[in-house]
Amino acid sequence: MDRLAIIGGRPLFGEAPISGAKNSALKVMAASLLTEETLALTNVPRLADVDMLLRLLEQHGVAHEFNGSSLSLSAKEITSTEAPYDLVRKMRASFNVLGPLLARERQAKVSLPGGCAIGARPVDLHLKALIAMGAEIELDEGYVIASAPNGLKGAGISFPFVSVGATEHVMLAGVLADGETIINNAAREPEIVDLADCLNKMGAKVSGAGHSKITITGVDKLSGADHEVLPDRIETGAYAMAVGATGGELTLTGAKSDLLGAALPVLIETGLEIEDTDKGLRVRKTQNRLNAVGIITQPFPGFPTDLQAQFMALMATADGVSTIKETIFENRFMHAPELSRMGANISVNGQTATVRGVERLRGAPVMATDLRASMSLIIAALAAEGQSMINRVYHLDRGFERLEEKLSNCGALIERVGG
């Protein structure tokens, strides 16, 4: 298993290109199942999660070709409507093929995704919404067996709480349904807007994306389209926090500040200077220790749960006490004990972590537990005195494109060690 060796204490200077958003790419890729024509995507990150979804799409009959960050997908004919356990269990986003398969083929058999390191992550909202749209659903031996013999019908769907995946799933199913689907309490993440843009380019009628009420008027057929995936706001925030932890100045090329939601004012409150430029976002640290700031994770435009772990690493050396409350996932503090191994002073009580900033962290061997937790350990290691060895970096490969290359180009001492 690969590990990353990092020698900390060096500021970051230069340019780091921000890739296309993983969590948008995965959903627009699933949209390729909705048309016989070619969906040509650009700015697609080369990540393990993208490859895994490609394998699943391939076995549904989707032909694909990757060229740099351009990916063309062509589902001329759906050759299988089954999504097997082995491909779905490793990545929950795969579950979102259910809606498009049902919409186009009127039937599908898709494995339930199961839990993951950060929480149980059920799919009850996805299934209830599809049932409201006329799907008949049975659960059998860990699989969802779904059919819609008369096609999916538009429906009014009111989510009891915000779910990114369920909102996207209803959009992917509703675009080919008969009639109008209205989603109330929809997620408002930029990735939802990106998916709506892509679907509309394919001929769909989706309005209201980015607001809590989304209206979808079903159409008979969708066509191919060209679509550029939006920049990754979580990668953007993580690299900005890396500057905050190490010092220096980075231009995050291609990044956009308006995608950061509440993370932008929070980072500015810590004392970081952040500015939009022609190239992207310039991030600069001018004070020795950052200010401690408290956060509560919330759906967009609130502070994203996907930046909570990285923010904890940043607060580990801030001047003061920071309170971090996680409200989206029930088990997303596994990085806290690992950060403590590096000298951070963190106490966790239920869904709240209290971080008392220390002057400096010390390098240590640590273990990555999930994607964003891994990035939190990288940020801490870049700031720490001495060497850290980060184990289980396969988590990182799922979501951060060319991480070692991007960081070492900006002056970090980071090396992948095999075995």
Give me the active site residues, please.
116
Nearer to ligand EPZ, 6 or 26 (CB): 26
Task: Based on the shown chain and the rule CB under 6 A, indicate whether residue 130 belongs to the binding site for ligand EPZ.
Answer: no
Q: How far apart are CA 277 and CA 70, in angstroms?
A: 25
Structure tokens that stand for 108 in this block: 């599908």
Nearer to ligand EPZ, 121 or 205 (CB): 121
Segment lying near ligand EPZ (by CB under 6 A), choices 164-172, 205-213, 253-261, 407-415: 164-172
Q: How far apart are CA 144 and CA 99, in angstroms?
A: 11
The amino acid present at 232, given as its one-letter code, is D
Among 65, 86, 124, 226, binds ligand EPZ (CB under 6 A): 124
Nearer to ligand EPZ, 299 or 363 (CB): 299
Q: Which of residues 245-284 bind ligand EPZ (CB under 6 A)?
A: none
Q: What b-and-e string marks burial along 288-311, b requiring 16 or more CB atoms within 10 Å of the CB?
A: ebbebbbbebbbbbbbbbbbbbbb
Among 329, 338, 353, 361, binds ligand EPZ (CB under 6 A): 329
Among 165, 224, 231, 237, binds ligand EPZ (CB under 6 A): 165
The amino acid present at 312, given as its one-letter code, is M
Answer whether the bond into residue 301 is a cis peptide, omega within 30°.
Answer: yes
Nearer to ligand EPZ, 271 or 302 (CB): 302
Task: Based on the shown chain and the rule CB under 6 A, indicate whether residue 297 belongs to the binding site for ligand EPZ.
Answer: no
The label of the residue with tokens 């090329």 reads: 253
Segment lying near ligand EPZ (by CB under 6 A), choices 33-41, 118-126, 215-223, 360-368: 118-126
Sheet containing 365-367, strands listed edge to edge, beginning at the edge strand earlier in sequence: 365-367, 387-391, 3-7, 413-417
Q: Which residues touch 405 (CB under 8 Å, ≥6 apart)?
A: none
| Least distance (Å) between residue 315 CB and ligand EPZ | 19
| Residue 254, SS3 per DSSP | coil
Task: Based on the shown chain and the rule CB under 6 A, indicate whether residue 373 belongs to the binding site for ligand EPZ.
Answer: no
Segment lying near ligand EPZ (by CB under 6 A), choices 9-17, 119-127, 175-183, 209-217: 119-127
Nearer to ligand EPZ, 144 or 164 (CB): 164
**H-helix segments, 297-390:** 308-315, 335-341, 371-383
Task: Based on the shown chain and the rule CB under 6 A, indicate whether residue 169 belongs to the binding site for ligand EPZ.
Answer: no
Contact yes or no for 39/72 (Cβ under 8 A): yes
| Least distance (Å) between residue 193 CB and ligand EPZ | 13
Among 306, 338, 397, 401, binds ligand EPZ (CB under 6 A): 306
Contact yes or no for 279/44 (Cβ under 8 A): no
Compute how many residues bind ligand EPZ; rule: CB under 6 A. Answer: 22
Nearer to ligand EPZ, 130 or 272 (CB): 130
Query: Pattern of binders to ligand EPZ over 16-35, x per CB under 6 A?
Result: -------x--x---------
Q: How far apart are CA 70 and CA 40, in angstroms?
A: 7
Among 4, 25, 39, 123, binds ligand EPZ (CB under 6 A): 123
Among 71, 125, 281, 292, binds ligand EPZ (CB under 6 A): 125
Smallest Cα–Cα separation from 347: which of 323, 320, 380?
Answer: 323
Hey, CA dihedral for 35, 39, 43, 49, is it positive or negative? positive
| Least distance (Å) between residue 254 CB and ligand EPZ | 19
Among 328, 364, 368, 403, binds ligand EPZ (CB under 6 A): 328
Query: Pattern of binders to ligand EPZ over 332-371, x per CB under 6 A?
Result: ---------------------------------------x
In sequence order, the β-bridge partners of residue 273 are 284
Residues in the chain: 419
Q: How far is CA 386 from CA 12, 294, 362, 412, in A?
A: 16, 28, 6, 13
Among 35, 181, 257, 305, binds ligand EPZ (CB under 6 A): 305
- Report the run of H or E that residue 25 belongs to, with start and end: helix 22-31
Using alpha carbons only, what angle is made at residue 264 by residues 91 and 50, rounded to the nearest 5 degrees? Answer: 20
Which residues contribute to the site for ligand EPZ (CB under 6 A)? 23, 26, 92-93, 119, 121-126, 163-166, 305-306, 328-329, 371-372, 399
